[in-house]
Amino acid sequence: MENIIQSVRDFRLTTSEVIVYQLIVCFVVIWCQFKWIRRNFESVAAKMKGPKGYPFIGSSFDFIGTPEQVMEKVLKIDDKYSPGPIKIWVGPYFGVIVIKPEDVQAVLNNSKALQKDRVYDFIKNIFGEGLLTAPVHKWRKHRRLITPSFNASLLNQFFPVFNEKNKILIRNLKKELGKTTPFDLWDYIAPTTLNLICQTAMGYNLDTQSEYGTEFENAMIKASELDSLRMKTPWLYLSFMFKLYLKLKGHSDVFNTLYKLPIKMIQEKKEAFAQRKILNKPSAVDVTDNEREKLKVFLDTLFELNEAGANFSDDDIKDEVVTMMIGGSETSAITICFSLLMLAIHPDIQDKVYDEIYEVFHDDNETITIEDTNKLVYLEQVLKETLRLFPVLPLVFRKLEDDIKIASDDLVLPKGTTCIISILGTHHFSESYPNPWTFNPENFNPENITNRHKYSFIAFSGGPRGCIGSKYAMMSMKVAMSTFLRNYSVHTHYTFDDIKLKIDLLLRSANGYPVTIQLRDRRPTYIRNKKL
């Protein structure tokens, strides 16, 4: 007994040992608390398949790499665990990837799944709190006020601008005629779509100030790359660490540069709006209702709403303008480039598209109207098939504000779950699309559309927070594609397998969109073949 007492007396702990034991105790306590908080999520996760998650960092290791490597890993996860739902730990947060159209519908249409997930906080330095990223209460208000800006009568007024800007595109492309070395479609299409959205939505013409457009486009691509890097790099989550990283890499001015053009447009339009108010006074020169309506653009609508008490702050206006500029230009440019590349790879489909265009426009110089776009049925199938294969926004993140039941196995996703709608996975779901990686516009003929679930195609998302500009996008892309193909045939040495995808904030071609062009033989295919 005395020996035991003596041993206890002789027992001593060094300071470092005390610290180590305290750290161990703290870690055990934190770990137990962590497991307790996640108990509901882990009980659901136990019923699902998915990549392995590690304590605190989740599945982050699965998304380390270049934008091309990350894209490959996203595709592998969808392919390996499809049709899901798939569990995935987003850092310490529980996530579920949904792919089946029935599950997608259950989430996108649920009023408790309208909140954008915390991951969108990382892109607010680009979009602020515009419609894309705004919290639900703010989104509801802005969406209700802005939606009338996209009615059919206003969209119809955009067609003169659509025609004008695409004629400029055709003129600019002439320098590529006769060359055997491929050029990148992006270099011509991206400035055109940006100019379009600036003039149709902001009333601002970039033709004479193209340097502002180039600066904005370059800043947008760099900002997307930086925010994408931040999303997959946990140590950059803290704002001060991200700012330090930008400073060390020489990118401190990227986001300020991005805002130069939007702020310039807002200021000039605000001044013009003030002048127009003077013209509308009884003592001013008379302006007809028709003329006044033609002068109104998206920015005018925001100013008018403020006059009526909407209380948009300067930051609110800037955020909506930036969201509109990027949503209305980048997404359309990517889709047009992919579509033309697909037609270059598939010349038989290109011929079929041109034959339809020829049926609508016998006169080569005929100006396209909104009625004409409704007749370009097969061209729309091509655009939709391109969006199916290459959805510009491949993933949508929602934070569930309550438990939500989905169709698969009557599974209930608990409140707080990060729900990831894999548009890419849904668009390549083999039950909806046989041979899902084959370019086949017939996937969107009326019969096939009727036989598929409504939510098997969600290129513009779906539910209440679906894309507000989907009609604008489809109309503008039809005008661009039909104008291009009326004048030029497009060719490439690429095959479908040569296309490598990458993801920053949007899905892009890693190697650009290399093509050559020739003057269009304006005869329809059956006449050309007959002569041969």
* Residue ranges in 135-209 assigned as alpha helix (H): 136-146, 152-156, 159-173, 186-202
CA angle 166, 169, 174 (to 5 degrees): 135
AA letter at 388: R
**What is the Cα–Cα distance from 429 to 344, expressed in whole angstroms?**
25
AA letter at 87: K
Quick one: 179 exposed, middle or buried, by C-beta within 10 A (0-12, 13-18, 19+)?
A: exposed
Q: Give the residue among 354, 331, 344, 352 at the shortest CA–CA distance from 442.
A: 352
Cα 168 to Cα 12, 189, 470, distances in angstroms: 84, 11, 24
**What is the Cα–Cα distance from 378 to 155, expressed in whole angstroms?**
22
Hey, how many other C-beta atoms are within 10 angstroms of the C-beta on 280?
A: 11
> Residue 375: enclosing H or E segment and its boundaries?
helix 370-375
419 is in an annotated binding site: no
Buried b / exposed e along 303-328 (16+ C-beta atoms within 10 A): bebbeeebebeeebbbbbbbbbbbbb
Residue 87: strand pairing partners: 96
Here the tokens at position 244 are: 């330090």
> Residue 275: enclosing H or E segment and its boundaries?
helix 254-279
Q: Are 383 and 373 in contact (CB under 8 A)?
A: no
Here the tokens at position 195 are: 């100019």
Residue 515: strand pairing partners: 183
Summarize the annotated binding site as residue ranges.
Answer: 467
Annotated binding-site residue numbers for heme: 467
